[in-house]
Every structure is written in structure tokens, then in C-alpha cells.
Structure 1
């Protein structure tokens, strides 16, 4: 006998939940199949039986769950589920589903943790929600960091001002010529003048590449 149930179920005060219990057996099911549900409060009180099924449903007729447990299964399909309505905060605890199909009476006994909260603070952490939080949160932080860095670089660029490029003619005017050896204007440029002009052009090209 193999029995399966949800490890955790969440509910809201005043609403209903379905407590799933499915099973598979090596023998054909018959009217001898029994399904039992028990409950252990989270405060540590004794475990109580809240539901019994054998051919027909026998819900609890007294105690904390009186009139609130209904059969929602089908043993012919391997389903021993029940429904719990009118949830209360005192329903928080652990529920256990036990199925027997003689002679197949040996098997696991899974437990379901039931958590009931008021609607205003109810929140379910599903697997998809948890994965999304783990993936999207780091991505958002990286994007924010990159945005801050880009903004700071742009501000530094604006505060520093843009360097004004000088034309080759302006660069040549900044050079200091040796007037004692300079020839007349009509004569070819001296080697010193040509060197100064070349340096000015190189600086102009370098400044253009930086921009």
C-alpha cells in the first residue's frame, strides 16, 4: 500500500479546504477498504480521529470538527480525500490519512500540515513564487547597480565639461618659433615649423579619438 498526500495545506478562516489523500494497492478494492483521518493539534494535545470511511462515510459527530468534515473521495479510483469547511484558527495542526485494503494493510503514513490564517495576512509560498523571488531579486539588484553607475559616469562627464578641440592652425599658433632663424614668409617653412604643425595635427587626431 502506497499513500500520498499534500505535505502542507493553507486555508483562510471561514473558508473550506480539500485534504487530498490518494493511494495505490496491489489488490482490487472492495467494501473492506477503510480510510481514517486523524488530527493532532499544534499545541501538543492528544491525537483524535475526525473521520472514518468503510463503504459509507462516518464523520465526527462530536468534538471540535463536528459537522465540518465531509467525504470527498472515491476508493474505487484510489482517492480517500476529505473536505474541511468553516476553517478556524484552532484547526492548525497535523492531519494523517491511513488507508487499509485487506490483506494489503502495510504502507506508509503521510502527514499533512494544515495552516489556517485570517484573510488579511494569508499568503501562500508556492514553488513558483519562491523560484521567482530567488531569480528576479538578484537580477533587479544588478540592474539597479548598473543604472547607478551609468548615472554617476554621466554626471562626472557633465561636471568636467567637454574639452574644446583645437584646429591644426590654432595648435600651430601655440608653438614657439625661433624668430632668429625663421626665414621670410615667402620662404619654405623651417624644420621647426613643420615639426610643430605635425605635433598639432597628431594632438587633434588623438583628441578626436578620445571623444
Structure 2
């Protein structure tokens, strides 16, 4: 069983949800990222989403945009992010790590080269915000070859057909965006989110 599946199984056995915090790698500098990852685990994180800084994070609100800007100002690249995961893995072989970011840095590195390096570093999954499943078949195959979970997004506007399509091919978990628009732009309607999540679970 992979680390992501083990994480959710453990949480289910304890009758609770998984705590999945997010940070941008390299913010405020590269030296603090791995210590912060360990601190999150110590504070109760079950899985870590590690943001790969990108110059045009179109789906993110101002908080994460500024975080990416600060990380890029320190020179943080996708190669540095993978080095951070590898360093984290030297003392934590259990906590799943999912990289969250945009397709451009992966394409620049080369999808296969990225997947090889990600597996070697100890990455468990990849959430690529701007790659819909309709365009992800080749990347899914590469991820499968290197035991990485390609994670897709669903949103309040997702149709039943799209929910079914993503649920059928989902690996790791499905990321549900709780509001329309960029992250942090508004507070979610909790009852609407609960209803949508339940509909997704039925797939």
C-alpha cells in the first residue's frame, strides 16, 4: 500500500479526517522549508501539500501569489523542491508529500525526467492545477510508471459527467475546490460544499 492510501486508511481507522496543510517551497527561504515540513507533521499533519513556486499562479489568490513571488526571489526551482522532499525523506519515510503547482515547470524539465526525479526524492503525488484530465493521459501513464498519483481538481461548477470521469480515473485523492474563482477569494458555503462532496463520494 502506498503512503497516501495508508494515510487515509489510518485516519479512517481513527474515525477522523486527514489534516492536509499547504506551504510554498522556498518561502520565505529555502532553508526553512524542510524544518517547517517536519514541524507540520509534529503538529498533526497527516499529508503535506508542497507548492512548487510559479511566476503566473493564475488559480491562486493574493496570499499564495505573494508566497510564490517570495520563493522565486530566493531562486527556488522545481529542482530545489525535489531536493527538499529528498531531505525531508531522510528522517520521515511515512508522511505523504504531494507537489502542487502548474504544468510549465514540469514541461520545462520534461515529464519523464520529472517523474523519475520525483519518485527518487520520495514524492507521492502531483496536483497540476492547469492540466485537466482530458489532456493528462500521457502524464498519467508516466506517473503510473513511477508510482506517482496524478491528482485532479473538481469545482462547484463541475458537471455530473465530469465528476464521474475524474472519479473513475482518480488516484491518491480528489481535490475539491470549495469556491468559484481563485483561492481565498471568498468564504465557502459549508452546506453546499458538504452536498457536493457527498455527491463526489457516491461515484
Give the TM-score category using the shorter length. under 0.3
Give the number of the structure whose alpha-carbon radius of gyration is greater.
1
**Structure whose residues are more often strand by fraction:** 1
Q: Give the structure with the higher percent helix.
A: 2
Instruction: State the TM-score, normalizing by the size of structure 1.
Output: 0.21
TM-score between the two structures when normalised by the length of structure 2: 0.21
